[in-house]
Amino acid sequence: MTRRAYTTDLRSLQKECASNFFRLERLLGDHEAGDERVIALADEYRHFGLLHVEVLERAPYTTMLRITQRGVLDHLMEVPCMRVHMYHDVSLAEVTDFQRQRHFQGRYRYPNPYMHQPDEKLQLNRFLGEWLTHALEHGMVVEAPSLG
């Protein structure tokens, strides 16, 4: 049986980025550079931490965000952190940095030096989608964005 090379699933990536754009719009509303939204993540029984969505830059066609989660495990592991670019003209939001790694390719040969999955970029954007969906369904805003 021959092994086929991974082919980038551009349709799924664009769908995920479009969904993330609208999730972020729901979480942030009207936002300016310097605004931050803090959302408590919890279910009926447990507190999972605080999701911080910080607007780093805002321009007519793009917004750059930093998204982190702080919680009870901060002293045991690195705090999850990603940078997301929102492209307003095409209504897409894409993960551009994760844990201080940048510029993810659409596909990777496997194995590779960083052990990225062949579809690493799609997986990161799906992770963002799951994170935001959880925040929308179970989160409570702790701080309103600062008025700029």
- Residue 53 domain-assigned? yes
Helix or strand (DSSP H, E) at 40: strand 36-42
In this model, does residue 52 exceed pLDDT 60? yes
Whether 57 maps to a domain, the answer reads yes
Burial state string for 107-138 with b = 16 or more CB within 10 A and e = fewer than 16? bbeeeeeeebebbbbbbbbbebbebbeebeee
Residue 8 lies in a domain: no
17 in any annotated domain: no
- Mean of pLDDT over the chain: 81
More confident site: 128 or 109: 128
Does 18 map to a domain?
A: no
CA dist 96 and 75 (Å) reads: 26
Is 41 domain-assigned? yes
pLDDT band for 42, please (50, 70, 90 cuts): confident
- Express each pLDDT in 86-123 by its tens digit: 999 999 999 998 766 666 555 556 565 655 565 678 88
The number of domains in the chain is 1
Domain around 66: 32-103+111-142
Q: Kindly state whether residue 74 falls inside one of the protein's structural domains.
A: yes
Q: Is residue 13 part of a domain?
A: no
Rounded Cα distance between 47 and 53, Å, is 18
